[in-house]
Amino acid sequence: MGRYVVRRVIQAIPVILGATFLIYALVFLLPGDPIQALAGERRADPTVVAMLHNRYHLDDPFFLQYWHYLVGLFQGDFGEDYRGNAVVDVMTRAFPYTINLALTALVIEMVVGVVAGVIAALRRGRFIDNLVLISTLMVISIPTFVIGFVLQLLLGVKLHTDYGIDFFPVSFNEDAGFRAYLLPAYVLASTSLAYIARLTRTSLIEVMRADYVRTAVAKGLSPLRVVVRHGLRNALIPIVTFLGMDLGSLMGGAVITEGIFNIPGIGHQLFQSVYLRERTIVVGVVSALVLVYLFTNLVVDLLYAVLDPRIRYE
Amino acid sequence: MTDTTKPSGARDGGPRLDAVELLGARRENLVPGTPLLEVDDLHVEFATRDGIAKAVNGVSYSVSAGETLAVLGESGSGKSVTAQAIMGILDMPPGRITAGKILFRGQDLLRMSSKARRAVRGRKIAMIFQDALSSLNPVLSVGFQLGEMFRAHHGTSRKEAKDKAIELMERVRIPAARQRVNDFPHQFSGGMRQRIMIAMALSMEPDLIIADEPTTALDVTVQAQVMDLLAELQAEFHMGLILITHDLGVVADVADKIAVMYAGRIVETSPVHELYARPAHPYTKGLLNSIPRLDQKGQNLYAIQGLPPSLLKIPTGCAFNPRCDRTQDRCLVELPPLVPVLDAEGADLPGRHSACHFWKETLHG
Ligand SMILES: Nc1ncnc2c1ncn2[C@@H]1O[C@H](COP(=O)(O)OP(=O)(O)O)[C@@H](O)[C@H]1O
Ligand SMILES: [Mg+2]
C-alpha cells in the first residue's frame, strides 16, 4: 500500500504542472493589460506602466514568463501580485474561510443527506419518501445562487425584520463565529445534499435486497442492527466516495456562495483576481485547489480499501 | 422437578406457550416423536406484474427432533419459499401468506409478535443458505459475523464473542481458525465458506436447522464433506433438519424421510429408502429415472418431458398432468389429494402419502 501511495503522489506531479500551465496560459490570453486593470477606469501613467511591465517581465514571451514562474514555484515561491503582496500571504489569509465553509457544508450534506436518504429508503413509496424525492429534485434543478439569495432573504433578512431573530447574519460577520457559516454552508451544500440523499436511498434499497441482509434477518438480529450494521455499512461505500470527491468541488464552488454572503475566502479572491488579471494569484489558488482534489481523491481511494476489504492496492 | 415427558406448556394446563417459556423450553421436555415443527396447509403467493404467482399451495410437513426431512423438487417448486415462511424472512410484499399454520413446539409462528418471532429466529430455528459467498456480508470479518450471534442473543462482550467464533470455526473443522478469524468471506474457499454458514447456524444450538440447497454451489468432492459435517453435527446436537435439495443423490444417505414438491404442493411423502425402491407418484418416478446411474452407462439419460408449470397459471386438476404419462380425463379436472398409500395387501405403509389418482398403479403396477 505504501508503494501505491508513492505511485499516486508521483502521478500527481504532471497533473499539477499541467494545471498550472493551463491556468497560466488562460489568464495570459485574457484581453486587457493587468497594470491598466490595477488603475481601474483612470488612465494609468505610461511611465509607471512601463516600469511595472519591466518588473514583472510582462513583455517577455509567454513561455519565458511561465518558466520564471515555475522556477520560483519549485523554490517554494508562489510569487507576488501586482501590488507587491506575496501570493502565499493572500492565500493563507483567504483559505481558512473557505475551508471552514466547505467543511461545514460537508458535514451538513453528510448528516442531512444520509439521514434523509435512509428514511426515504426504509419508507419506500410512502409520503416521506416522495417528499424526499420531490424536494431533492427541486433543489437539484434550482441554481445555487437562487437558493442562496432566497435563503438569505428569508432566513437572514425576514427573520430579522419580521421576527427580530438575528440568528443568521445576512452578510458574513466574523464576530458571529461558527454561526456565520451555517447559512452559506447550507446553500453551498444544497445540491450535493440532494444528490447524497438520493444516492443513499438508492444504495440502501439495493443493499437491503442483498442475500447477506436476508442472512442478518435470519440470524434474529434487531431491525436497527440489520439496517445499520449490514445495510448502511455497505450502502455507504459509494457515498463516502462521493463525499470525498465533493470536498474539492465545494471549495472550488464557493465562488458563488462567498459572493452572495460576502465571505472573504478564496472564491471571493479568485473572482477578484481574474477580474484584475492577477495571474500569480489565480494560478496559485487554482493549483492549491487541484492539490486538494488530488489529495482527497487519494484519501477516498485508500478509504475505499478500508471500507471494502475485497479491494487491495498493490 | 421438571416433568421430562410433557411439553412444558402442559404444566399450567394452557395449550399455548408464551415466547419466554418457549425459549426456556428444553429439548428433553418434548414428548418423543412429537413434531418439533409442523407446517400445516401453508399457502404463499406473490404479487407480480403479470398477476398472482401461487408459489406454495397447501404444503404440510413436519420434522421431529433428531429427524432429517428432505424436501425435494425441481427449481421453482416452492421449496425455498416454504423455508422462508418458516424463518419469517419472506419478502412481504410482494409475498403474502394467505393461509396455513406453522407450529413450532405447538405454537403458531405466524401469530407471534414480531419480537417473539425474532427470539426464535436464529436461536431456535436457524437457516443455511445455498450461496455462502453472497449470504455472508462481504465487508465484515467472519469472526465478527459469527460472534454477532452471541453478542445479539446473549449480550456477550466483543472479545468473548471472538473466542466463541474461533471455537465454532474449529468445531466445523476450519484449519487455523485462530489465525483466520479476522479474515473476510472472500478469502475462504467455497467449502470453507459453507462451513462458516453451518457454524453460524449452529452457534445458538438451535432445535431446528433449515438447509436450503447447502451443497448446490459447491464442487462435487466438497459437497460430500459438507454434507457429512452437517449430518454429523445434526446427530450430535439431536437437531431437526430440513434439507432442501433438487438432487436426489444428496439425500439418500442423510435423510430419514422425503417430501417431494411440485408446483407448490407436496405430491409424495415417504421414508427415504422406500421412496427409492417404490415411488408412489409419477413425478417422483420421473425424478428417480433421471438420476444418472453407473449400471446404465452409455444409455440416454431419462428426463421428464416438458417444463414445470407457470405459477401464474397452474393447470387445473393435477398440476403434473401436462407432463405425466398416466394422465386420464380425471387428472385434468380433479385435484388429487395427498392420501395415505397402502401396500399390495392393503396394509398401511407408515409415512407414505401420494397425491396421484393412480397411486396404486404407480406403486404396484
Ligand atoms: N421475492 C419473490 N418475488 C416474487 N416471486 C417470488 C419471490 N420468491 C419466490 N417467488 C416465486 O416463487 C416460486 C418458487 O420459488 P422457490 O421457493 O424459490 O423455488 P425453489 O423450489 O427452487 O426453492 C418462484 O418460481 C417464483 O415465481
Ligand atoms: Mg430454492
Q: How many CB atoms lie within 10 A of CB B173?
A: 12
Q: Are A261 and A183 in contact (CB under 8 A)?
A: yes
Mean pLDDT of chain A: 85
Q: Where are the alpha helices (DSSP H) in chain B?
A: 19-24, 79-87, 114-120, 132-135, 142-154, 158-171, 177-180, 190-202, 220-237, 248-251, 272-277, 282-289, 329-333, 359-364
For B11, the grid coordinates are: 404444566
Q: What is the mean pLDDT of residues A7-27?
A: 84
Classify the complex by whether its ipTM is higher than 0.90, answering yes or no. no
Angle at B363 between CA B360 and CA B365, to 5 degrees: 80
B44 CA: nearest ligand 1 atom: 12
CATH number of A94-263+298-307: 1.10.3720.10
Question: What are the tens digits of pLDDT across the range A164-188?
Answer: 777 777 777 777 777 878 888 888 8
Question: What are the tens digits of pLDDT across the range B262-314?
Answer: 999 999 999 988 888 888 898 998 888 877 665 665 566 677 787 888 888 88
State residue B23's pLDDT score.
46
Of the candidate ranges A72-76, B53-57, B100-104, B122-126, the one whose mean pLDDT is the lowest:
A72-76
Distance, CA of B239 to CA of B67 (rounded, Å): 7
Quote the crossing angle between the two packed helices B158-171 and B142-154, to the nearest 10°: 120
Record: contact A212-B127, CB cut-off 8 A: no
Which helix (H) or strand (E) element contains residue A9? helix A2-29
Distance, CA of B317 to CA of B326 (rounded, Å): 14
How many angstroms away from the CA of A231 is the closest CA of chain B? 10
Q: Which bound ligand lies closest to the C-alpha atom of B131?
A: 2
Q: Whose CA is nearest to atom 25 of ligand 1?
A: B76
Distance, CA of B193 to CA of B108 (rounded, Å): 33
> What is the DSSP pairing of strand B95-104 with strand B68-72?
unpaired
State residue B32's pLDDT score.
54
Q: Whose CA is nearest to atom 17 of ligand 1?
A: B78
HSE-up (13 A, CA, CB side) for residue A199? 22
CB contact burial A279-296 (16+ within 10 A = b; e otherwise): bbbbbbbbbbbbebbbbb
Mean pLDDT of chain B: 84
Q: Model's pTM, two decimal places?
A: 0.82
Nearest CB to B122 within list A214, A218, A230: A218
- Please report the beta strands in A68-144, taking only residues with DSSP state E, as ranges in sequence order: none
**What residues does the ion ligand 2 have nearby, CB within 5 Å?**
B 80
Q: Are A215 and B148 in contact (CB under 8 A)?
A: no
Distance, CA of B28 to CA of B1 (rounded, Å): 13
Going from the Cα of B80 to the center of ligand 2, the distance in angstroms, rounded, reads 4
Model confidence at B19: pLDDT above 60: no
Distance, CA of B52 to CA of B50 (rounded, Å): 7
Burial class (CB in 10 A: 0-12, 13-18, 19+), A144: middle
Whether chain A has a CB inside 8 Å of the CB on B86: the answer is no
- Of the pLDDT bands very low, low, confident and very high (cuts 50, 70, 90), residue A105 is very high
Question: What are the tens digits of pLDDT across the range B154-178?
Answer: 999 999 999 999 999 998 889 998 9
Question: What are the tens digits of pLDDT across the range B115-128?
Answer: 889 889 999 999 99
Count of pairs with CB atoms under 8 A, one residue in A, one in B:
70
User: Residues with Cβ within 6 A of ligand 1?
Assistant: B 46, 48, 53, 55, 73, 75-81, 91, 94-95, 311
Record: contact A220-B119, CB cut-off 8 A: yes
DSSP summary character for residue A16: H
> What is the DSSP pairing of strand B68-72 with strand B240-245?
parallel
State residue B138's pLDDT score.
94
Distance, CA of B150 to CA of A218 (rounded, Å): 14
Q: Whose CA is nearest to atom 1 of ligand 1?
A: B91
